[in-house]
Amino acid sequence: MRKKIVAGNWKMNMTTAEAAALVNTLKADLANFREVEVVVCPPFTALSTVSELVHNTHIDLGAQNMHWEKNGAFTGEICASMLRELYCHYVILGHSERRQYFGETDAIVNRKTKAALAASLHPIVCVGETLQEREAGKVEEVITTQVKGSLAGLSAKEVLESVIAYEPVWAIGTGKTATSDQAQEVHALIRNVLTGMFDATVAQSVRIQYGGSVKPANAKELFSMPDIDGGLIGGAALDAKSFIDIVRAAV
Ligand code: 13P
């Protein structure tokens, strides 16, 4: 049985004070909630504060990005050991905004994924097609290439430590969610790709989140699909009530 996982990707939002207020509200409701794995991914500047606040709760901490090297002259970057020091257990990698605005390729995502795993961080590896690619009938090709490229060279054990997030680019921040059938179809495709790369048991065990305009109103239907194991939530994760409602929809 795959345990559902709902993660909030706060993106470039929340000062430290705002982050503390949001997490304190989440804690009041979710501190002892075990049915679903709950992760919050604040910006780097708020990690330390949020880390202290979620200590001894069932809310887990993630970051939104990291560099693949262990340390060195990479001005402005953050490495895995810095995240581990703050008790991060997850890191989002290859988000479409990183791919689109910061030139991240599958090869870069792959290096980061391996570096995260080597540091015992669980990578949340994002894949997803653009609207143009969907309209050109290229969903299967694009997703297959991204999954194979991002996870290349991982062992079965490592992929089992990872989470995949399917986030159609056209659904991110647009209010246009993929229908539950559209999302399910791609999640099943990702499991097929994983079966080819590893085996059917591994493919059935890896958790695959859906992301893209998940709201309290559509979460339950999405999360009830057989291959959808929770969500990666953007805008709705910035509002405590919305995020809590989405988490509870995953039960
Ligand atoms: P929205 O939920 O705002 O569409 O963002 C989704 C996302 O990109 C999560 O990583």
Task: Give the mutation target among 92, 100, 232, 238 for probing the ligand 1 site: most ligand atoms within 8 A of CB.
Answer: 232
pLDDT of residue 148: 98
Domain ranges of the chain: 10-249
For ligand 1, residues with CB inside 6 Å are 9, 95, 167, 172-173, 211-214, 232-236
How far, in Å, CA of 164 to CA of 10, rounded? 18
Kindly list the averaged pLDDT for each block of 10 residues, start to end, along the chain of length 251: 97 98 97 95 98 97 98 98 98 98 98 98 98 96 98 98 97 89 98 98 98 97 98 98 98 95
pLDDT of residue 9: 98
pLDDT of residue 188: 98
CA-97 nearest atom, ligand 1: 8
8 Å CB contact between 248 and 38:
no
How far, in Å, CA of 162 to CA of 159, rounded? 5
CATH architecture of the domain with residue range 10-249:
Alpha-Beta Barrel (3.20)
pLDDT of residue 245: 98
Compute CA distances 215 → 176, 210, 230, 246, whole Å: 11, 12, 12, 7
pLDDT of residue 173: 87
Q: How far is the CA of 235 from the centre of ligand 1 (A)?
A: 6
Task: Give the 3-state secondary structure of residue 125.
Answer: strand
pLDDT of residue 85: 98
Task: Give the mutation target among 167, 238, 239 for probing the ligand 1 site: most ligand atoms within 8 A of CB.
Answer: 167
pLDDT of residue 100: 96
Catalytic annotation, residues: 95, 167
pLDDT of residue 177: 86
pLDDT of residue 71: 98
8 Å CB contact between 146 and 127:
yes
Q: Is the dihedral of CA 82, 84, 88, 90 positive or negative?
A: positive
pLDDT of residue 217: 97
CA-213 nearest atom, ligand 1: 4
Residue 190 burial class via C-beta count within 10 angstroms: exposed 0-12, middle 13-18, buried 19 and up = buried
